[in-house]
Amino acid sequence: MNLKVKNISNIGGEVKAPPSKSYSHRAVILASLANGTSKLYDMLFSQDVLSSINVCKALGATITKKNDYLEVIGTNGILHNSSEIPIDLGNSGTTLRLMTSVSSLADNEVILTGDESLQTRPMGILTESLALLGVDATSIKNNGKAPILIKPGYLGGETNILGSVSSQYISSILISAPLSKNGVDLFVLPEFKSRPYVDMTCDIMDKFGVKVKNDFYIRHDDCDNEFKNCRVDEFNIAKQEYASCDYIVEGDYSSASYLLAAVAICGGNAKILNLFKDSKQGDKLILDILKQMGAEVHIFDDYVEISSDGNLHGIDVDLSNAPDLLITVAILASLATGTTNITGVKHARVKETDRIATTCEELRKLGCNLKEFEDGMTITGGIHSGIVDSHKDHRLAMAFSLVGLKYDIEITNGEVFDVSFPNFIEAMAEIGVELELL
């Protein structure tokens, strides 16, 4: 189906940000590993999160959707795979990465797979790191990608992993580590990208009763490679148990970026609820970006107010800790005056799509003046109407719909927003942007 803007009127008002996808994934996984019954409030029931719910059910958790919360009866870390076929995770890379480590805690084999896109995601860095911990997780096709066969056994011990590709590899090991036989000492070698996502993982692990020790040191030794004299982050996770709890999922800054950007582009005033001032989400950076581009932003304890006259200008921005903002910022840049330089997002090339390449490809269809680099892009504002493709990437679909606030645009395969923001159309309507699927 194709997505396009149908009507625009009275931009602004008040709207609640959708629940955080990242915290929703982690909440249901930790509750499933915990001892006792947890109540998870304000969960996001997107396609991706449903993938995590389904695999947790397959491994033994009892999960029931109540009127105003999700009830999870945990397994106390005692997992058993009840699925006789490979567990299909759809397009959820987060579920694949986080659950690869967790699945080794089961007492029988687990096979995790997904759609065609998911089967292009690199997993070798994670499985190689897990091997040093006694985890046997292998690519069935021997290409370092899903389907992944995970056999029982998680001894723990010491391992290391690159921090430059995906923070989800690190979070995967951290989440499963306390239930290993001996605990885990994890060393993260540079560059440590998307660090806030790991901070989020440690934060929610603490809420479920598990403590993570974290420190760093500068590596001074005789090694003659790129890691000489580099910073190493060390995580120490002793053997522990997760405890059930009642948990409220906070609003999602990456999803809210589309609502905030719409106001910034069109001009108007809006209040976005459920965005916490003390959030550990890296995508909170969108507030600083919009300020720098010319919008007025006021941050309160649990909501954000934005006002704009619609006149934005280019900036220089490093998105190394907020790669999910890449496409939103690229669209803002294409509609702003001047030039925007986006750097630090080489790891965005291993998301649902190669987001640097696909974003540049689709912007070129709209006549955008840009240069593509390995870790980002330079965009000079100025585009026109046209038809673009989402490449079945939810963030491409939602971000490119913002172009429709200024120019006629149609996004093919535009229905994929429900991967992370099921009520995207309804939320945009609340601030005066009427979208339609054709």
Distance CA 31, CA 170 (A): 19
Active centre residues (catalytic): 324
One domain for residues 221 and 337: no
One domain for residues 221 and 117: yes
One domain for residues 314 and 194: no
Flag whether 276 is in a domain.
yes
One domain for residues 107 and 207: yes
Type and span of the H or E element at 94? helix 93-103
Tokens standing for residue 244: 């059930």
Residue ranges of alpha helices (H) inside 177-225 are: 195-207
Flag whether 78 is in a domain.
yes
pLDDT in tens, the chain (438 residues): 999 999 999 999 999 999 999 999 999 999 999 999 999 999 999 999 999 999 999 999 999 999 999 999 999 999 999 999 999 999 999 999 999 999 999 999 999 999 999 999 999 999 999 999 999 999 999 999 999 999 999 999 999 999 888 899 999 999 999 999 999 999 998 878 889 999 999 999 999 999 999 998 887 665 555 566 688 999 999 999 999 999 999 999 999 999 999 999 999 999 999 999 999 999 999 999 999 999 999 999 999 999 999 999 999 999 999 999 999 999 999 999 999 999 999 999 988 899 999 999 999 999 999 999 999 999 999 999 999 999 999 999 999 999 999 999 999 999 999 999 999 999 999 999 999 999
One domain for residues 383 and 257: yes
Flag whether 245 is in a domain.
no
Of 204, 237, 270, the domain-final residue: 237
CATH number of the domain that residue 31 is part of:
3.65.10.10
Flag whether 244 is in a domain.
no
Flag whether 156 is in a domain.
yes
Residue 165: per-residue pLDDT: 85
Flag whether 204 is in a domain.
yes
Amino acid at 48: D
Structural domain boundaries enclosing 289: 3-18+251-437
One domain for residues 288 and 231: no
Q: How many CA atoms lie within 13 A of 370 on its CB side?
A: 31
One domain for residues 64 and 210: yes
The tens digit of pLDDT for each residue in 109-153 reads 999 999 999 999 999 999 999 999 999 999 999 999 999 999 999
Given a contact cutoff of 8 angstroms between Cβ atoms, the answer to whether 412 and 396 are in contact is no
Given a contact cutoff of 8 angstroms between Cβ atoms, the answer to whether 261 and 328 are in contact is yes
One domain for residues 297 and 420: yes
Q: How many CA atoms lie within 13 A of 96 on its CB side?
A: 32
Number of structural domains (the chain) is 2
Going from the C-alpha of 10 to that of each of 57, 270, 298, 433, 434, the distances in angstroms are: 44, 10, 20, 9, 11
Of 237, 266, 287, the domain-final residue: 237
One domain for residues 225 and 265: no
One domain for residues 195 and 262: no
**Whose CA is closest to 190, among 225, 221, 157?**
225
One domain for residues 124 and 256: no
One domain for residues 43 and 88: yes
Distance CA 142, CA 346 (A): 25
Flag whether 153 is in a domain.
yes
CA angle 107, 111, 116 (to 5 degrees): 165
Of 211, 237, 263, the domain-final residue: 237
**Whose CA is closest to 286, among 335, 252, 334?**
252
**Main-chain phi, psi angles of 23, to 5 degrees:** -70, -35
Flag whether 243 is in a domain.
no
